[in-house]
Amino acid sequence: MKNFNYYLPTSIRYGWGRVNEIGKVTSRLGKKCLLVTVKPFPAMKPLFEKVITLCNEAGVEVIHFDGVIPNTTTDSINLASEMAIKNNIDVVLGVGGGSSIDTAKSIAVGATHEGDIWDYRLKQKRINSKKLLPIVTIPTTSGTGAEITSVAVIKNPKEKLKSVLADWSLCPKVSIVDPETTMTVPSYITASTGFDVFCHLFESYLNKFSTYIVDLIALDSIKMVIKHLPIAIEDSSNKEAREALSMTSTFGGICITNVGTTLFHAIGMSIGGNTSNIMHGEALAIMYPEINRWTWKHAAQKYATVGRLFNPNLINESDVVAAEQACIEIEKFIKKIGLWISLEDKNVSEGDLKKIGDDALEIPNYKFHPKVPNLEEINNLIRRSYKN
Ligand code: NAD
């Protein structure tokens, strides 16, 4: 068996009603908290109010930054970091989807480190773990796993580029994963964020550096996503489906934090950097079919294993047949969850395709793919994903 490392510094509190523990949890880490969220809207406002009340009751003063922008931007981080400094914040609490949580993580750096947050991407400037503000998270989408990962994805709107802050100290101290907080997520966002869960699990398993422990978590969780994501899309009030997705979302975070994603995410992030109307899960759904067809022969056994999770009848077929069929099974799944879209459908201009390809190389995860592509191969994959 291969050697492996496994590390997870975040304390996870999973289960229905666990949001009620947020006051106690936060008060152990600080007395003045920056709550980081999107602008309150009817689905989320009651949760934000509840969190503020619970923190206040536990003796924690709350300052609310509600300027999170989808696909976390450096401008909003800089603004919020100034707010944190001015108010002597000693703990940051991200409540929301990946964009809110990544904003919270980035503020923990921005409020304690000199200079522009963008300079800290990909370890260009060192993050001093001793200085960082403690981070607490409550995810409200079942998607990114950001609630426990060691990275924050940030976007520089001027350069139209997405990149990551990466350091183990960015793993939140505590994450409260309460499926109740996801019950209000609309169907299409459930689909897009839920497909991201599948991608984290699948890509961790496919990753050249996957480990036995990651494989165990990923394969079992993929089975749950295949079963429960279509149910949650169809019936947003289905509690069993919501709890399975909440749990597997966090499990996906555990997997990517230990081994990382692959080429799908490198191009997906580049699409997110270059556009402002494409959700992270949509970008992945756009790229999956072509990249799968290009990849499966280089990881036939793993594709076959995943193919058999989608279609148990493939047990009777050879690995090669099951692996090729896995690509079709994943396409059927993307169609079933309503994400069969192309770059053209999302109004991306053909002139932007080359920059999307170039920027994908900025995300080192493409090197973890079973077959490492060159720029020409990346550009071909993007071009072939332009139309369905
Ligand atoms: P998001 O945070 O942008 O949220 C999507 C939409 O859902 C927003 O409009 C939000 O207001 C809404 N929403 C969230 N919770 C809701 C609820 N309970 N009810 C109703 N509406 C709700 O989307 P996301 O997919 O969670 O996060 C995407 C971001 O996370 C991207 O920038 C992506 O690159 C990043 N990401 C980060 C990591 C990481 O480890 N840090 C991993 C993967 C992706």
Is residue 340 packed enough to be buried (19+ CB in 10 Å), middle (13-18) or exposed (0-12)?
middle
Nearest to 83 by CA among 106, 56, 52: 106
Nearest CA to ligand 1 atom 40: 146
Angle at 236 between CA 235 and CA 237, to 5 degrees: 90
Question: For residue 97, what pLDDT is reported?
Answer: 98
For a substitution probing ligand 1, which of 156, 280, 287 has the most ligand atoms within 8 Å of its CB? 280
The two three-digit tokens of residue 214, written as one number: 């990651």
Question: For residue 303, what pLDDT is reported?
Answer: 98
Ligand 1 atom nearest the C-alpha of 256 is: 40
The yes or no reply on domain 187-384 and CATH 3.40.50.261 is no
Question: For residue 331, what pLDDT is reported?
Answer: 98
Dihedral sign, CA of 238, 215, 265, 135? positive
Nearest CA to ligand 1 atom 17: 185
Q: Would you tell me how many other CB atoms lie within 10 Å of the CB of residue 173?
A: 17
Low-confidence ranges of the chain (pLDDT < 70): none
Contact residues of ligand 1, CB 6 A cut-off: 38, 43-44, 70-72, 96-100, 102, 140-141, 143-146, 149, 151-153, 181-182, 184-185, 189, 193, 196, 269, 272, 280
What letter would DSSP give residue 364? G
Ligand 1 mean position to 269 CA, how many Å? 13
Ligand 1 mean position to 204 CA, how many Å? 20
Nearest CA to ligand 1 atom 31: 71
Question: For residue 2, what pLDDT is reported?
Answer: 83
Ligand 1 mean position to 316 CA, how many Å? 39
Domain pair 11-182 / 187-384, same fold: no
The two three-digit tokens of residue 343, written as one number: 């770059």
Question: For residue 221, what pLDDT is reported?
Answer: 98
Residues 24 and 18: their CA atoms lie apart, in Å, by 11
Q: What is the pLDDT of residues 260-283, one digit of tens each?
A: 999 999 999 999 999 999 999 999
**DSSP per-residue codes, 165-192:** EE-GGGS-SEEEE-GGGGTT--HHHHHH
| HEC sequence for 186-247 | CHHHHHHHHHHHHHHHHHHHHCCCCCHHHHHHHHHHHHHHHHHHHHHHHCCCCHHHHHHHHH
Ligand 1 mean position to 70 CA, how many Å? 7
Question: For residue 343, what pLDDT is reported?
Answer: 98
Residues 162 and 185: their CA atoms lie apart, in Å, by 25
For a substitution probing ligand 1, which of 36, 99, 255 has the most ligand atoms within 8 Å of its CB? 99
Residues 347 and 162: their CA atoms lie apart, in Å, by 19
Ligand 1 mean position to 197 CA, how many Å? 12
Would you say how long the chain is, in residues? 388
Q: Where are the domains of the chain?
A: 11-182, 187-384
Question: For residue 87, what pLDDT is reported?
Answer: 98
**What is the number of helices (H) and of strands (E) in the chain?**
13, 8
Whether the Cβ atoms of residue 53 and residue 216 lie closer than 8 Å to each other: no
Q: Which residues pair with 62 in a beta bridge?
A: 33
* CATH code reported for the domain at 11-182: 3.40.50.1970
Ligand 1 mean position to 96 CA, how many Å? 7
Question: For residue 136, what pLDDT is reported?
Answer: 99
What letter would DSSP give residue 77? H
Is residue 362 left, alpha or beta, with left meaning phi > 0 and alpha meaning psi from -120 to 50?
Answer: alpha
Radius of gyration of the chain (CA): 20
Q: What is the pLDDT of residues 344-370, one digit of tens each?
A: 999 999 999 999 999 999 999 999 999
Q: What is the pLDDT of residues 104-134, one digit of tens each?
A: 999 999 999 999 999 999 999 999 999 999 9
